[in-house]
Amino acid sequence: MGKIRPLSENLIGKIAAGEVVERPAAAIKELIENSLDAGATAVTVEIQEGGLTSIRVADNGSGIDESDIRMAFERHATSKISREQDLDAIATLGFRGEALASIAAVSRITMTTRTAASDTGLKVKNEGGRITDIQEIACPVGTTIQVNDLFFNVPVRKGFMKKAGQEASAVHDLIVQLLLSRPDVSFRYISNGKTEFHSPGDGQTATALQTVYGSYAMKFMKEVNDHGNGLIIKGYVGIGENGRGNRNQEMFFINGRVMHNKILNEALETACRERVMIGKFPVCALYITIPYEAVDVNVHPNKLEVRFRDETGVYEAVLSAVLMALKEKDAFQHPVEMTLSPQKEKASDRMTEVPVQAAPAMRRPLPSPDESVTVSRTLPASASAISPAPKPEPVYRDIPPKPAETINIPAAGREYAAPTVMKENAEQVNTILSAVRKPMKVFGALFNTFILVEYEDQLLMVDQHAVHERLLFDRLMSEHTEKAQAGQEMLVPVVLGVTNAEQRLLEDNREALESIGLVVEAFGEKDVAVRTIPVILGEAQTKDFIRDVINDLQNGKDPTFEKKRTQLLQTACKHAVKGGETLTEEELRSLLDTMIEQKVTPTCPHGRPLVVSISHRELDRKFKRIQN
């Protein structure tokens, strides 16, 4: 007797449920997407115990007609597509036609629904995938689905569920994604009887973001609005204090639905590299409109992963759009405001970005463009003998001071080009200082680290090391960007083992690699011979560099930029004045002059702020001179 036999419909349903409904959040996602496809403008989601015991999704959509009630619970039944060609241009959220059937197969469902054309609605009960009752009922237009006892008939799957709190957290993250994907829909989310948030559904992305993150976070959001390579890209990117410890808050919406793709993450993070701290990740809600035939959303049953036909084009478009949003510079006019008064807020919410109205006037004439000021970094030899033990280093000190080393701070008036990245086409920011009107007082350096400046109604604190590091880094990047890369011929070619795909990748990019001094030839079926290696900043690269090149090529990046940037960053950090070093008044003023004149990026290359401010009002509040 044969061993292969067909599965029962009951077992097929449970298997399908296992693929689609892996946890409560997955079931809720399917139900909400059905609501949105039904034209709902208001959706309420209510859960108990993380959705393990109870899920309720109610909408004001079009409802389900009586003639379609039974078919709605059938597998592979849908109103979204009718022919094979429709798969190439899917514009709706749910299309497989098995969401409701899969959820019903592993739970007890009660659904009430009514269309606008009907005077009464219908109440349908389904248990374990079998309809047990249908009756008329008075209800509003739309659909409400109550899901109880999820996985009651699949105890093995239920045993793999996490604690209720963890499942509720997953539902919360899901609602955030859907809320941001459709700011024109009002979402209400209730967990264990408590309303977590309620969005107005006014169609404004900024309002939806504020519902999720709060008004404070919006001050660190930069609006994105650009197009290129067939894409339209809009939304917001959160930098500075909005930085997170993981990528969970990097959200991309492709044609209205949240999607995951590493190309998008890489483009975003490359553009924001110097605007968030090292080890942190930006926040974003980017809405990408792309022709449906240029994207494949049917990669995985959960419909979260996406593939693009032209990944390089997508990378370039997103990178350029975000760079354009962050192109404004001038650290002096974009300080980070420090709040002294105790407030009921998160630790990460204690600072906010505020604009300064105009650039300040200095107390002395600006140097001529050809002038430069020499900053002596020599520390007194007898300092340790006559001074008490040094205090712990300030937070922003990267490298201990070195004695007897002298460098030049470029004079104010000279224009620096901003650092460039692979495929960056964003226009450079004009660095000519505008007319100066308002006075500025410089009091010196606090702890020989933070330059204290009074400007208008603010006390500004400027990190001398971070500012000088930024100036040096920008200059070095400008000087080395246009230089051609030299190559050093190997006395004995280095043979490196690669895969067939990697070998083809190197061959396809042969001309580009030779232009940077890297000559690689096929050597057998799974090896390459490295005959010439690039010389970057005067240093010949090792064969390990080839692995980095392959990785960069796979990700659409410049194969030498990262290496060059890292070395230049180390150089700038090493030669910048350090926190704790004593600078003369003239040197402090020259550093401020140059920072203002160049209108530099508000952060150092590591992502730390250059300028922090405390308002006059905040000081009055702290000293009880005012009560609010």
Task: Compare 158 and 189 and report the one with higher pLDDT.
Answer: 189
Helices 205-213, 164-181: crossing angle, 10 deg rounding: 160
Q: Is the pLDDT of residue 123 over 80?
A: yes
Q: What is the DSSP string of 235-246?
A: EEEE-GGG-BSS
Q: Take residue 101 and report the two structure tokens written for it.
A: 């059937």
Q: Worst-scoring range by mean pLDDT, 221-225, 330-334, 469-473, 598-602?
A: 330-334
Looking at the chain, the number of H-run helices and the number of E-run strands are: 18, 28
Task: Compare 535 and 433 and report the one with higher pLDDT.
Answer: 535
Res. 382 pLDDT band, cuts 50 70 90: very low
Q: Worst-scoring range by mean pLDDT, 175-179, 238-242, 404-408, 607-611?
A: 404-408
Q: What is the DSSP string of 600-620?
A: --SB-TTS-BSEEEEEHHHHH
The residues near 563 (Cβ < 8 Å, ≥ 6 apart) are 536, 541, 545, 548
CA dihedral defined by 201, 202, 206, 209, rounded to 10 degrees? -10
Selection from 576, 577, 592 nearest residue 366 by Cα: 592
Which pLDDT score, from 0 to 100, does residue 428 have? Answer: 30
Average pLDDT, the chain: 76
Q: How far is CA 183 from CA 93, 131, 207, 305, in A?
A: 16, 35, 8, 22
Q: What is the CA radius of gyration of the chain?
A: 30
Q: Is the pLDDT of residue 453 over 80?
A: yes
Q: Average pLDDT in the 88-113 region?
A: 72
Q: What is the DSSP string of 482-500?
A: SSPPEEEEEEEEEEEE--H
Phi and psi torsions of 164, nearest 5°: -55, -40
54-59 and 142-148 beta bridge pairing: antiparallel
Q: Is the pLDDT of residue 81 over 90?
A: no
458-463 and 611-615 beta bridge pairing: antiparallel
Which pLDDT score, from 0 to 100, does residue 481 have? Answer: 59
Q: Is the pLDDT of residue 352 over 50?
A: no
Q: Is the pLDDT of residue 83 over 90?
A: no
192-213 pLDDT, tens digit each = 999 999 999 999 999 999 999 9
Res. 86 pLDDT band, cuts 50 70 90: very low
Q: What percent of the chain has pLDDT over 90?
A: 34
Q: Is the pLDDT of residue 265 over 90?
A: yes
Task: Compare 355 and 442 and report the one with higher pLDDT.
Answer: 442
Task: Compare 175 and 488 and report the one with higher pLDDT.
Answer: 175
Q: What is the DSSP string of 326-371?
A: T----GGGSPEEEP-S--SS-GGGSEEE---SSPEEPSSPPPPTT-
411-440 pLDDT, tens digit each = 333 333 333 333 333 333 333 334 444 578
Which pLDDT score, from 0 to 100, does residue 199 have? Answer: 95
Q: Worst-scoring range by mean pLDDT, 448-457, 468-477, 489-498?
A: 489-498
- List beta partners, residue 225: 234
Q: Average pLDDT in the 81-92 region?
A: 47
Amino acid identity, residue 328?
A: E
Which pLDDT score, from 0 to 100, does residue 264 have? Answer: 94
Which pLDDT score, from 0 to 100, does residue 186 have? Answer: 97
Which pLDDT score, from 0 to 100, does residue 35 have? Answer: 94
338-347 pLDDT, tens digit each = 766 554 444 3
Q: What percent of the chain has pLDDT over 70?
A: 70
Q: Average pLDDT in the 160-170 region?
A: 91
* Most confident residue range from 122-136, 417-431, 506-520: 122-136
Q: How far is CA 33 from CA 104, 123, 332, in A?
A: 16, 21, 46
Q: Is the pLDDT of residue 233 over 90?
A: yes
Q: Take residue 585 and report the two structure tokens written for it.
A: 């008044």
Q: Is the pLDDT of residue 364 over 80?
A: no
CA dist., res. 241 & res. 223, Å (int):
16
Q: Average pLDDT in the 224-236 region?
A: 94
Query: Long-range contacts for 496-499 (Cβ within 8 Å, ≥24 apart)?
Result: 496/527, 496/528, 496/529, 496/530, 496/543, 496/546, 497/526, 497/527, 498/526, 498/527, 498/528, 498/550, 499/526
Res. 525 pLDDT band, cuts 50 70 90: confident
Residue 287 CB: number of other CB atoms within 10 A? 20
Phi and psi torsions of 178, nearest 5°: -70, -35
Q: What is the DSSP string of 542-564?
A: PTHHHHHHHHHHHTT--TTHHHH
Task: Compare 415 and 81 and report the one with higher pLDDT.
Answer: 81
Amino acid identity, residue 161?
A: M
